[in-house]
A = this chain, B = another copy of it.
Amino acid sequence: MSAEKVNVLIEALPYIKEFYGKTVVIKYGGSAMVDCRLKEAVIQDVILMRYVGMNPVIVHGGGPAITAMLDRMGKKTEFINGLRVTDSETMEIVEMVLVGKINQEIVALLNQLGGKAVGLSGKDGQLIQAEKKLANWYDESGQEVTADIGYVGEVRKVNPAVIETLVTEGYIPVIAPIGVGRQGETYNINADYVAGAVAGALKAHKLILLTDVEGIFADLEDKKSLISCIKVDEVPGLINRGIISGGMIPKIQCCVEALEEGVSRAHIINGRIPHSLLLEIFTRKGIGTMVVK
């Protein structure tokens, strides 16, 4: 390490102080979970965050591994209005891939690179209590249609006790987005929503969603129009004007819900940039789009 590099550590000091002892919930998904180099960079970022005094908590998504496994097993899944019906056999495979493969890979990599990680699903310690989520849409005639698409759930309640037990002892919890129903049944839940609900239950300082886009643009055509900060009460307007649309709507909703539960800041950042987590945390401007109250 040269003298020049040491200056970088000194530059980082104000940020280390600012986030000392703070909880940061990271939704880990998208390209950052596929590309080997990006994956290692995210893991290193999380370990560094822990060592400089933050309490990172990871919630991961499923990524292409689930589809690959369903294909490999010749399991065909029905679609209703574009939504995959999750029957019990599909659910079983989804759970195995999320809990038995992806989660464990992240845990092993964190431990391998020097962290202390423990994997959790929503079943462990009744962490994520869920209920069935029905699909809603409007048909051609404009009538609302509701369909049961199987074991797709939404968060009913987060019981963060097991996370707190592990964090106190220095572990990094890694959470698979599986919920457990009142009768012990399994639900697949959107990982963004799980991350938001966990952040809310922990009264986390930050929720960071690692996505495959830069953030929210005022003009999608203009790469320079990234909105760096959005207030919660601007969100409805932005949706109405079509600036926030498509897959970004549920993401911004997670952010809004987390902020309402007491989280201070929510961030949508680009996981394709190596070390995007550190870039967000260790720079005054941050990267991506920040949502605040």
Residues of A within 8 A of B (CB): 1, 3, 5-14, 16-17, 20, 41, 44-45, 47-48, 51-53, 72-73, 92, 95-101, 103-104, 107-109, 111-112, 114, 116-121, 123-126, 161-162, 165-166, 169, 171, 178, 180, 183-184, 186, 273-275, 278-279, 282-283
Q: Report Cα–Cα, A186/B275, bound state, in Å.
A: 27
Output the least CB separation between A126 and chain B (Å): 5
Minimum CB distance partner of A185 in chain B: B108
**Within the oligomer, what is the number of copies of this chain?**
6
How many angstroms between the C-alpha atoms of A275 and B119 in the bound complex?
Answer: 31
Known: A16-B48, A51-B13, A100-B100. A118 touches B108 (CB 8 A): no
Contacts beyond the supplied A8-B9, A104-B123, A116-B125: 11 A-B pairs with Cβ under 8 Å: A1-B279, A6-B278, A13-B48, A72-B73, A96-B96, A99-B103, A108-B123, A108-B180, A112-B184, A117-B124, A119-B123
A111 neighbours in B (Cβ, 8 Å):
123, 125-126, 180, 184
Please indicate the chain B residues that have their CB under 8 angstroms from the CB of A119 in the complex.
Answer: 121, 123-124
Q: For residue A104, which residues in chain B have a CB less than 8 angstroms away from its CB?
A: 95, 99, 121, 123, 178, 186
Say whether B17 contacts A51, CB under 8 Å. Answer: yes
Residue pair A100, B96 in contact (C-beta under 8 Å): yes
Q: Which of B16, B97, B108 contacts A96 (CB 8 A)?
A: B97
Q: Name the CB-closest residue of B to A284.
A: B1
Which residue of the partner chain, among B171, B180, B186, contacts A162 with CB atoms under 8 Å? B171
